[in-house]
Amino acid sequence: MNPLRLAKDLFAALHGGADPRHLAAGFALGAMLGLVPKGNLFALVFFLLFFALRLNKGMALMSAAIFTPLGWGFDAPAHRVGMSLLKAPALNGLWTALYDMPVVPLTRFNNTVVLGNLVFGLVLFIPLYFASLRFVAWYAANLAEKVERLKLVQALKGMRWYQMYAEWTR
């Protein structure tokens, strides 16, 4: 994964080169990947979905980069949510059954922060998808043309290395 290519593809996608649903899906999945603490099976599954699904990879990585530090900020409330779910008497049988399964403990669902941030990610997925879908439409209608006319963008596009890189990544 070349970061320059992802940035170029994201810029091109925002400027009318991609399906807005792919951008929105990338943003929402990247948020889930960013919120869930790393080093468990949930993070690996989200990372694999990143490659398996048809979504904008640049948007997903940008979203994950934004939501990873936000996830650290969510740790205290996530701990409270995870603790309340893990201590709920009605769910004791579920947690026991999940823990007795062969691979499920690798998700670290019994960690309060992991479970709480997973819940936050799942709850936020649909609202983030639709909010980013609206943002992409608004950006295309209101900002894309203005951004294209910025002197900085024109200067970058005029540089020889950018033109060579753009030609090479087609």
Task: Write down the pLDDT at residue 2.
Answer: 63
Of 5-9, 36-40, 72-76, 81-85, highest mean pLDDT? 81-85
How distant, in Å, are the alpha carbons of 119, 141, 158 from that of 73?
A: 15, 33, 40
Gap between the Cα atoms of 155 and 2, Å rounded = 22
Say yes or no to pLDDT of 67 above 80. yes
Where in the chain are the domains?
3-168
3 pLDDT band, cuts 50/70/90, is low
Give the mean model confidence (pLDDT) for residues 137-163. Answer: 72
Residue 72, pLDDT > 70, answer yes
Cα–Cα nearest to 39, from 114, 122, 124: 114
Angle between helix 20-35 and 41-52 (nearest 10): 170
Q: Please state the rounded mean pLDDT for residues 27-48.
A: 90
The pLDDT assigned to 68 comes to 92
- Could you give the residue ranges of the DSSP H alpha helices within the chain? 3-12, 20-35, 41-52, 57-73, 75-87, 92-100, 112-142, 144-148, 151-158, 160-168
More confident residue, 8 or 44: 44
Q: Taking the model in full, what pTM does it have?
A: 0.79
| Rounded-to-integer distance, Cα 29 and Cα 130, Å | 12
pLDDT in tens, 93-118: 999 999 999 999 999 999 999 999 99
